[in-house]
Chains A and B, each alone.
Chain A
Amino acid sequence: MDLYEYQGKDLFRRVGIPVSEGRLATTPEEARQAAEELGGPVVVKAQVLTGGRGKAGGVKLASDPADAEAKARDILGLDINGHVVRTLWIEQASDIEREYYLSVTFDRGAKKPLFMFTTQGGVEIEQVAEESPDALVRLHVDPLEGFQPWVARRLVYGGGVEDPSEQKQIAAIVGQLYRAFVEFDAMLCEINPLIVTPDGEVKALDSKFTVDDSGLFRHPDVAEWRDPTAADPIETFAREKHVTYVKLDGDVGVLANGAGLGMSTVDVVAHAGGRPANFCDLGGGGSAEGVVDALEVITRDEQVRSIFFNIFGGITRCDEVARGILAALDRLDMSKYPIVVRLDGTNAEEGRQILAEAGRENIHPEATMLDGARRAVELAGTA
């Protein structure tokens, strides 16, 4: 789960990382009021789950409350990489002497947390890595050893920070960031920029924070921060129904049991010349009720013209899936969708028989995954 900047900064604050004071606003009037409360110049910042907001015009300096209101009006509703701005974070403007970069990520390849630090902050880290790799210090932490002060020293000295007060402040932030990373089950904690003010004060001006979904049960307050309006509406609906679903951009609805088979089915539909509308994993259980829910989700997508069920029964029983399909046909209006069904594995014969006996016109049985995909693609073209 990705957090908004203001949410990440809330977690930063909890572990002691210095951040600026700020307020949330969803209207220009609220932005003006926030600026009044904060006093002095503020920065109006779009809260969207994507980077590069500054470049896209989503981060603007405002000299006074009236200006904050005007800037808020400009930014609200802006589309930044496909994310529409609905919320703003208004925070005290800082004077910036230097911009650094600090992050810790979950390096699954090395199976260790990875720190990255550079004094060339404020730009995308990929750019630094490419153009001046020597300026970027990378350091893995042993997860059993945990954070030790030497890690911070390696980063700070290695990065070429010379001022002793700066060294001390950054070293403290490195330790605090690691604490946030572990304590909140993070996959990524990034501060870009980590600034030094003209008075020599170091603070986090931005936050990028991703929390492991599997760890969310330990952080119910963070789990509640999920913004259902940020995701695709059909994906949000799927989440409510506990259906594993990812929207794609085609017209062949795809259902399979299991993530790997689901991805493979999407690929095979594309290979057959079609355009898959979605990825959908019925999961291990695959109860009739789950099938109805999944079909309800998939048919919310108005682009869908045909549906391909690709089931390989293991724990999932094909007779149960067949019953689910028939139940969905009774309960939802599915008459306009040709449904191609391929059943194999546990109780496949029973499943096929159940469908055959029901004698529904829009059900098209196919024996193999490849033939099923071809048929669904063909039917999407003619439907």
Chain B
Amino acid sequence: MAIILDNDTRLVVAGLTGSEGRFHGLRNRAYGTNLVAGVTPGKGGQDVEGVPIFDTVAEAVDGAGANTSLIFVPARFAVDAIYEAVDAGIDTVICITEHIPAHDMLRAYRYFRGQGTTMIGPNCPGVLSPGKANAGIIPAEIFSEGGVGLVSRSGTLTYQIGHELTQLGLGNSTIVGIGGDPVVGSSFVDVIEKFEADEQTELIVLVGEIGGDEEEKAAAYVAEHVTKPVLAYIAGFSAPPGKTMGHAGAIISGSSGTAQGKKEALEARGIEVGTTPTEVAQMVASRLK
């Protein structure tokens, strides 16, 4: 079954005529994703390798039946693209763009949550359901199909853990990069809720990092609502307070948002936290064997 993306996904890429959008959009199609449209204002009627381009998302929904939007447009225009997709009735919006102003996301968040749209990102690598569909920049060849649900604030760290899992012969139901910004569309809790309901997912791995309190909230949620085993990894134990560690959201403010605090919150709820990516993969393997 998998979550967020599956065989019913009909993808529209905002920015398909740009270099990033084109490269990754076509890679997603080559993987087997049903890429039905691109949107670039002013280029409606053209095509990219046979994929029709529309001027607006609404036209892509009407004309091509798009239900999932992948956003590759520059930061200044990305919020507009998010609202446009939500208002066009798209079910799932995935935004890869980095450096969207936090205030813009704050307002957008309040809006799309009210509309019932599933939003992933921004500043994320996208979503991959191995064997079904890929939307974003996750290198699909590293992953195989299986029962591990992976949710992470980071891209490459997810690849690292996915790779370690693959080496141990384990596959994934869905890999969800929720993004490294202070405000993202879906939290750990939102994604874990979907994994809990998903038949294919047998075990959930949460990959967190310093900053904010979403890992702590996830720990509390898991203890109350989740029956499947959950394992975790947290990055940033050596990070100094007050410094942004690559991701806009990866910052320890005063004494809050530390890796140690998150580890303790998770362990207090019975969620094991691996010390290295390798150890996490081994823990998964021993639980599933």
Interface residues of A (CB under 8 A from B): 106, 108-109, 111-113, 126, 142-144, 182, 185, 187, 212-215, 217-218, 244, 246, 248, 256-264, 266-271, 276, 279, 281, 284, 312-316, 344-346, 368-370
Shortest distance between the CB of A347 and any CB in chain B (Å): 11
Q: B159 in the interface, Cβ–Cβ < 8 Å?
A: yes
Shortest distance between the CB of B179 and any CB in chain A (Å): 11
A181 to B156, CA, bound (A): 34
Query: Using Cβ atoms and an 8 Å threshold, which residues of chain A touch B254?
Result: 126
Shortest distance between the CB of B96 and any CB in chain A (Å): 10
Asked whether A260 and B139 contact (CB < 8 A) given A143-B107, A345-B163, the answer is no
Shortest distance between the CB of A191 and any CB in chain B (Å): 18
| Residue contact B245 to A246, C-beta cutoff 8 Å | yes
- Kindly identify which residue among B101, B109, B213 contacts A185, using a CB–CB cutoff of 8 Å: B101
| Residue contact A215 to B243, C-beta cutoff 8 Å | no
- Kindly identify which residue among A113, A143, A259, A268 contacts B276, using a CB–CB cutoff of 8 Å: A268
- Kindly identify which residue among B158, B210, B213, B239 contacts A109, using a CB–CB cutoff of 8 Å: B213
| Residue contact A263 to B102, C-beta cutoff 8 Å | no
| Residue contact B213 to A281, C-beta cutoff 8 Å | no
| Residue contact B182 to A106, C-beta cutoff 8 Å | yes
Query: Using Cβ atoms and an 8 Å threshold, which residues of chain A touch B76?
Result: 217
Which 6 A-B residue pairs are closest in the complex by CB-CB distance? A260-B154, A259-B246, A258-B156, A260-B157, A215-B101, A261-B156
A329 to B56, CA, bound (A): 49
A143 to B113, CA, bound (A): 13
| Residue contact B110 to A106, C-beta cutoff 8 Å | no
| Residue contact A267 to B236, C-beta cutoff 8 Å | yes
| Residue contact B276 to A314, C-beta cutoff 8 Å | no
**Can you report 6 A-B residue pairs in the complex whose CB atoms are below 8 A from each other?**
A108-B211, A217-B76, A259-B180, A263-B236, A312-B156, A369-B277
Q: B152 in the interface, Cβ–Cβ < 8 Å?
A: yes
Shortest distance between the CB of B105 and any CB in chain A (Å): 9
Shortest distance between the CB of B276 and any CB in chain A (Å): 5
Interface residues of B (CB under 8 A from A): 75-76, 99-103, 106-107, 109-111, 125, 137-139, 142, 152-160, 163, 180, 182-183, 207, 209-214, 217, 233, 235-240, 243-250, 254, 259, 275-278
Query: Using Cβ atoms and an 8 Å threshold, which residues of chain A touch B207?
Result: 260
Shortest distance between the CB of A353 and any CB in chain B (Å): 19
| Residue contact A108 to B182, C-beta cutoff 8 Å | yes
Shortest distance between the CB of A110 and any CB in chain B (Å): 10
Query: Using Cβ atoms and an 8 Å threshold, which residues of chain B touch A313?
Result: 139
A261 to B113, CA, bound (A): 30
| Residue contact A276 to B180, C-beta cutoff 8 Å | no
Shortest distance between the CB of A107 and any CB in chain B (Å): 10
| Residue contact B247 to A260, C-beta cutoff 8 Å | yes
Shortest distance between the CB of B135 and any CB in chain A (Å): 14
| Residue contact A215 to B102, C-beta cutoff 8 Å | yes
Shortest distance between the CB of A144 and any CB in chain B (Å): 5
A378 to B250, CA, bound (A): 29
Chain B's closest residue to A310 (CB) is B160
Chain A's closest residue to B102 (CB) is A212
- Kindly identify which residue among A212, A268, A370 contacts B101, using a CB–CB cutoff of 8 Å: A212
| Residue contact A108 to B246, C-beta cutoff 8 Å | no
